[in-house]
Structure formats: structure tokens, C-alpha cells
Amino acid sequence: MSGSIEVRGLTRTFHTTVRRPGLAGALRSLVNPERVAKHAVLDVSFDVAPGELLALLGPNGAGKSTTIKMLTGILTPTAGEARVAGVVPYQERERNARNIGAVFGQRTQLWWDLPVRESFAILRDIYEVPKAEHAARLKEFDELLDLSSFWDTRVRHLSLGQRVRSDLAAALLHDPPVVFLDEPTIGMDVVVKEQVREFLRNQVEERGRTVLLTTHDMTEVERLAERVVLINHGRLMLDGTLEEIRRKFGSTWQVRATLADPHAEVVPPPGIALLRHDGPRVVFGPDGPDAPTVHQALKAVIERFEVTDIGIDEADLEDVMRAAYVQATGDA
């Protein structure tokens, strides 16, 4: 089964009442409410290829969770259409549910009062997974997520890290081709985060699952995603690779060099700007939209100048995304 996700013009509009200030305003709103349409998601289109991990990014309230809810069949879009593994999720909810796994970092899909393993067994029955297959998959997940140390504990007694690892396993036990992860590592310690990232990488690379991930953790994005979709105020702002995002949003690298000849004339290579020149020390940065990557720039500088020392400063993804969010907010 193809695990692709196709989203075309997806829109979800909520109608809310305008809150007027003060007691008199509140009373007026009660008698004569002013209703406004708020577009949580507006005309969003993108594709995720089978076996691809796409990070859906955006500031709080951007529309990420609403998009995921429409793709998982929880919400029906106001307009547009979506297909997940060939199924329209909001029209065939139960069929779609068999094709997907989902983890919402702040909610569990396990039975609160039951030991984790009992929840797994119930899900096996619900999804009609053969017993041998279920046991083999559980063994594999145990090796990756260390589940057996706590799977006889009731869900209500688990730590957050244990609970989310259990939820991840529960979401994948029926072998879905598509997985939705809404902030899966929120609130976790670094060790468990790394364990979860390893697990996700394994599921994408070894099992070929299609993953749509939302997160505010840029380390996670950098480690897992090749491509990101950025949305803000419900609109798609950017769909591209991490490199494209780095290129688009500001000066994201600097090459610092110490020249062997302090009096040499400094004419930078194409696409590279001279930012500072202080005796033998020079600093280069990208120049224009066709600027090279930092590694290309490093090579070009070494080829053009005789240097005694050279280094690079690259803005981390956190800085890049901050710039992207600020620009996206300004554009909206």
C-alpha cells in the first residue's frame, strides 16, 4: 500500500464570537453576538512521498495540529481535499484509521487503568493483527524502546517518557504505512528524546513509513527531516529542504579567514560578500539569493586566497526558524 499524503487547498474555518471589552460589551455580545470566521487552516497544499519524513513547522496556533486532525479523520475540512494512503480520512474514518498511526504528545491512546501490555493486546484485537506478527513486532519495539521494563505497569503510573514510548509502540503495532506525530517528544529528557528519535529514524529508513511530524524542537528537525513545510496563521509559507530554508531566511553562515598576505587585494568569489576586513583577518558571508552553501563558500575561499587559518560560523536551525517565523508573521 502506498503511504503517500496528498493535501490540496485544505481549509478549516471556525466560527467564533467576538469578545467585546468590559461588562457592557460582554452583555452586548450575549444579546447580539458578532460572529466572525477564523481560518485555522487556509488553502494549504503539499505532498509527502512514501517513506519520507516531513516536518510540519510553525509557531503556536499556526494550524499544525488542525492540519493533522484533518489528515487523521478527527476533523472534517471546510474546503479542499486530502488523501492519506489513498483514503479520504474524513469520509472513511475507520478505513483511514487502519492505515495510520498517530501520537499526540500530550494525550495517550492507551487505557489509563490497564497495564501497557494489556492495551497492546486490545489494540492487536481491534486492528486484527495475527498473534505471531504482534509478538514479533512487540519484540522489535522492545529492543528499540526498552518497553519491557515498564509494560506491566498501569498507564496512569508511567512517567511521561515511558508513556510516550508506549504510545509510539501502540501507534505502530498494526504496521501502518503512515504515521502522524504531533509534538511527540514534548517535555521529555534528552536521553529519552534521543531514544525516540532513533526509533523514528529506524521506522522511516528500515520500515519505509511515511511520517508527518510537528515539533518545536529544531534539533529533532535537523536530525530527522530532510524537508519541512512551514505554516503560519493557517497558511503555507514555505515548502522546501532545510538547506533552502537556511538560504532563504537571512545570513546563515560566515567564513572567517586569516590571510597569509595581509596586504592582498580581497575580491570575494561570486555569490560571496566581504563583510569585514581588518588587516589579515577577513569575514565573508552569503551575497544574494544564489549564494553558495557554507561548504561551497569554504572551498571557494581556500581556492582563491592563501590562508593561514580558516573557520566557519553557521547559524543553527533555531536562529533560522526564528527568522522564518518573524518574516512569516510580518508577511501575514
Partner 1 sequence: MSLKALRIVWRVTALNFRAQLEYRTEFLLMVAIGAVWQVSVIVFATVLLTRFTGMGGWDSSDVLLIPATRMLAHGLFVLFLGRMHWAGRQIQEGRIDVYLLRPMPVHRQVQLAYFPTNAIGDLTVAAGLMVGALSRSDLDWTAGRITYLIAAVLGGMLLEAALFTVVASAALRFPAADYWGRWLEELLGTFGSYPLNVLPRAVGGLLTYGLPLAFVAYFPAAVLTGHDTAVPYWLAAASPLLGLLAYLGARLLWRWALRHYSGVNG
Which residue, 26 or 273, has its beta carbon nearer to partner 1?
Answer: 26
Is 17 a residue that touches partner 1 (CB under 8 A)? no
Phi, psi of 98 (to 5 degrees): -75, -25
Is 107 a residue that touches partner 1 (CB under 8 A)? yes
Phi, psi of 325 (to 5 degrees): -65, -45
Question: Whole-angstrom Cα distance, residue 205 to residue 223?
Answer: 13
Which member of 34, 125, 243, 316 binds partner 1 (CB under 8 A)? 125
Is 118 a residue that touches partner 1 (CB under 8 A)? yes
Q: Which three cell numbers stand for residue 37?
A: 470566521
Which residue, 110 or 224, has its beta carbon nearer to partner 1?
Answer: 110
* Amino acid (one-letter) located at 287: D
In 92-197, DSSP assigns E strands to: 100-104, 178-182
Stretch that binds partner 1, among 116-124, 202-210, 268-276, 302-310 (CB under 8 A): 116-124
Question: Whole-angstrom Cα distance, residue 37 to residue 279?
Answer: 60
Is 214 a residue that touches partner 1 (CB under 8 A)? no
- Given the C-alpha cell 532563504, which residue does it identify? 248
Is 100 a residue that touches partner 1 (CB under 8 A)? yes
Is 117 a residue that touches partner 1 (CB under 8 A)? no
Is 97 a residue that touches partner 1 (CB under 8 A)? yes
Which member of 127, 201, 240, 271 binds partner 1 (CB under 8 A)? 127
In 177-262, DSSP assigns E strands to: 178-182, 210-214, 227-232, 235-241, 253-259
Stretch that binds partner 1, among 19-27, 112-120, 224-232, 292-300 (CB under 8 A): 112-120
For residue 99, the minimal CB distance to partner 1 (Å) is 10
Which residue, 75 or 324, has its beta carbon nearer to partner 1?
Answer: 75
Which residue, 72 or 185, has its beta carbon nearer to partner 1?
Answer: 72
Q: What is the DSSP letter of 77?
A: -
Which member of 54, 56, 104, 324 binds partner 1 (CB under 8 A)? 104
Number of C-beta neighbours around residue 39 at 10 A: 17
For residue 174, the minimal CB distance to partner 1 (Å) is 9
> Pairing between strand 272-278 and 253-259?
unpaired
Is 232 a residue that touches partner 1 (CB under 8 A)? no
Question: Whole-angstrom Cα distance, residue 60 to residue 91?
Answer: 28
Is 76 a residue that touches partner 1 (CB under 8 A)? yes
Question: Whole-angstrom Cα distance, residue 174 to residue 125?
Answer: 10
Is 197 a residue that touches partner 1 (CB under 8 A)? no
Q: Cβ(178)–Cβ(72) under 8 Å?
A: no
Is 166 a residue that touches partner 1 (CB under 8 A)? no
Distances (CA, A) of 140 to 8, 133, 184, 201, 207: 36, 11, 20, 14, 12
* Binding-residue total with partner 1 (CB under 8 A): 32
Is 186 a residue that touches partner 1 (CB under 8 A)? no
Question: Whole-angstrom Cα distance, residue 131 to residue 129?
Answer: 6
The residues in 31-60 that bind partner 1, with binding defined as CB under 8 A, are 40
Q: Which residues bind partner 1 (CB under 8 A)?
A: 14, 40, 66, 69, 72-76, 93-95, 97-98, 100, 102, 104, 107-109, 111-114, 118, 122-123, 125-128, 154
